[in-house]
Amino acid sequence: MDHTSEIHLRNDLTRAFVAALRKSERDDDVSGLASLFADDAEMFRLDGEGVRHGNVREFWETYRAQFGEVRTQFTRAVENDRDAALEWHSVGTRPDGREIRYDGSTFVTFDGERITGLRTYYDSAAFLDMTAGTG
């Protein structure tokens, strides 16, 4: 299901990012998403790896490998000519079939033609592999 109408996005590159992320989630193929980024884009997510420069395809493949299935719904966006801030909610399954739900925010920087930076913050506790009542 395509949810592009759930929020109004005025910037073409922000719309392209949202559409490409959804396609990568649906098709398990990050090619279109990675193609939106500059070769030396700066990327960050809460995985302990810190800021990365370049290797955009690897960044997104690593993200996608955390899930069996995943769907993201964008709930709020604030944009200007160089940046976008997106709030979202994701649901899906881990590779082993366990359900996952989490919320976060993504901040995208662009130069008009390519995404040059991405920083994403989310409820990282959703990714902890703990079993209640053990330990």
List pLDDT tens digits, range 65-119: 999 999 999 999 999 989 999 999 999 999 999 999 999 999 999 998 899 999 9
Residue in the block written with tokens 């719309």: 15
pTM for the whole thing? 0.85
With a cut of 70, say whether residue 132 has pLDDT above it.
no
Does any domain span residue 134?
no
Q: Which of 46, 116, 101, 108 is nearest to 77 (CA)?
A: 108
Q: How far apart are the first and last CA of the chain?
A: 40
Supply 75's token pair: 């709930």
Does any domain span residue 133?
no
Q: Which of 120, 128, 119, 125 is nearest to 104 (CA)?
A: 120
With a cut of 50, say whether residue 1 has pLDDT above it.
no
Does any domain span residue 8?
yes
Does any domain span residue 130?
no
Expressed as residue numbers, the domain containing 59 is 4-125
How many domains is the chain partitioned into structurally?
Answer: 1
Q: What is the DSSP letter of 60?
A: H
List pLDDT tens digits, range 2-29: 444 468 898 899 999 999 999 999 999 9
Which DSSP helix (H) or strand (E) runs through 99?
A: strand 99-110
pLDDT value, residue 94? 93
List pLDDT tens digits, range 41-59: 999 987 777 788 878 999 9
Give dist(CA 127, CA 2) in Å, integer: 25
CATH classification of the domain holding 95 = 3.10.450.50
Supply 69's token pair: 């299935």
- If one counts every other C-beta atom within 10 angstroms of the C-beta of residue 84, the result is 24
User: How many helical (H) and strand (E) elements, i.e. helices and strands, does the chain have?
Assistant: 3, 6
Per the DSSP assignment, residues forming a β-bridge with 34 are none
Supply 35's token pair: 């193609």
